[in-house]
Amino acid sequence: MRTSTRGSRRLMAFAAAAALTTGLLAGCAEDSDNGSSNEGAGNSGGGKTTLTIGTFGVFGYKQAGLYDEYMKLNPGISIKENVTTRTDVYWPKTLTRLQAGSGTDDIQAIEVGNITEAVQTQGDKFVDLGKEVDKSQWLDWKNSQATTKDGKLIGLGTDIGPMAICYRKDLFQQAGLETDRTKLAAQWKGDWSKYVAVGKDYMKKAPSGTKFVDSASSVYNAALGGETTTYYDKDGNVVWDKSSGVKKAWSVAMDVATSNMSAKLKQFDKPWDQGYANGTFATVACPAWMIGYIQEKSGDAGKGKWDVAAAPTAANWGGSYIGVPTAGKNQKEAIKLAKWLTAPEQQAKVFAKQASFPSAPGAYSSLKPAAATQAYFSEAPLTEIFSASAKTIPSQFRGAKDQPIGTAITDIGILQVEQRGKSPAQGWEAATNEIKDVLGQ
């Protein structure tokens, strides 16, 4: 669905996602890039109530026909989706409107990288949805991330981002590598450095103009998603510079950044999209929400060439929530719509359309990707692969500045090494300086 790439480099970024859901993270389609607005909310022609929903990336609600379905079930409702491609544009604007108490949409999406900040600093700006729903519908850890200290649930879980590796089996074959998804997954099982080793083998006979992976940041986010301790510890202390998880993910990312295996692309920028279309990289760390994104950006030319294998370690990257701002003009109807959109039945429909993996376990027994999606990814058992990852994702401790810290590492530290030829030490120093600025140190 979408990924994290949060705002003004100091406010934050990503996809990831990241995810995605994000995005979960997430993707891009029908992009207005104008942030959310409440323009047109309230009553529209014919006496209908217009509900606005602010999202980023591709949430899949429109693509799966859920808006049309809801409007047929509720003839007095009209739905308008305001889409912004990147969370680094979406979230700062949303924060400004939440703090102002005006201009918000009736429903606002919240990416997982922003949920802790929303809980800790904007809890009073959202309706307590815990009073409106049966919370047992969602994974416990998903609810926990969106719950304030006084027990207020500010968001309902949409998707999560269990990890896999999406790969171009045609390019693997040309490079003389294993193409069977099960055997390939066994080669890198348990360690992202083994994935990098496969990349080194790929580059020995890489098809002309191709690289093994899209970016070192992609590998960093994927590896970090399988670690328990990342930027904060269980007590809420900032530990990014001491975190074993960060150090492990940084190390593997540096192996990629200092090699010839990366296409050196920044995720969710246009050149990255073009890389899909042109087949310029052979693998990408692939949370469930990215399945729909790859289909869209690779287009018809990629059908049957992509396959999916289990990732080296179980990990979560991305995922999102939707909440109802207290400043919204149509709270009662917005709550009804938010509940309906995130119910297991609707989450299963979004999965069928674009493989965004549900945060509602009640949907799991009925999950079935669309036939077109299965065919696009070489009949890979998507439900099985993502379910296996989802069941063993480690719980992670999150903090209010998770996303800006992560963006400083990926968009400044790693890019310094990957794109500007700096040493890993120089990249780490650049990220450190940015993070100190973000944290006010």
What pLDDT does residue 57 have?
Answer: 83
Cβ atoms of 237 and 31 within 8 Å: the answer is no
Tens of pLDDT along 237-254? 999 999 999 999 999 999
Backbone angles phi, psi at 80, to 5 degrees: -125, 125
Farthest-apart Cα atoms in the chain, separation: 66
What pLDDT does residue 12 have?
Answer: 33
pLDDT at residue 30 is higher than 80: no
Cβ atoms of 273 and 265 within 8 Å: the answer is no
Tens of pLDDT along 209-243? 999 999 999 999 999 999 989 999 988 899 999 99
- Stretch (H or E) spanning 211: strand 211-213
What pLDDT does residue 28 have?
Answer: 35
What pLDDT does residue 171 have?
Answer: 98
Architecture in CATH of 42-160+318-368: 3-Layer(aba) Sandwich (3.40)
Tens of pLDDT along 55-81? 998 889 999 999 999 999 999 999 999
Residue 24 tokens read as 């979960």
Instruction: Average the pLDDT over 189-198 and give the result.
Output: 97
| Alpha-carbon separation of residue 352 from 79, 257, 346, 389, 391 (angstroms) | 22, 35, 10, 18, 20
Return the residue matching tokens 């990732």: 311
Q: How many helices (H) and strands (E) does the chain have?
A: 18, 10
DSSP state at residue 151: S
Integer Cα distance of 120 and 351 in angstroms: 30
* Prior bond of 408 cis (ω within 30°): no
Tens of pLDDT along 270-315? 999 999 999 999 999 999 989 988 999 999 999 999 999 999 999 9
pLDDT band at 9 (very low <50, low <70, confident <90, very high): very low
Integer Cα distance of 44 and 40 in angstroms: 7
Integer Cα distance of 15 and 268 in angstroms: 7
- Stretch (H or E) spanning 165: strand 156-168
Q: What residue ranges do the domains of the chain occupy?
A: 42-160+318-368
140 or 331, which is more confident: 331
pLDDT band at 41 (very low <50, low <70, confident <90, very high): very low
Ranges 12-16, 88-92, 307-311, 348-352, most confident: 307-311
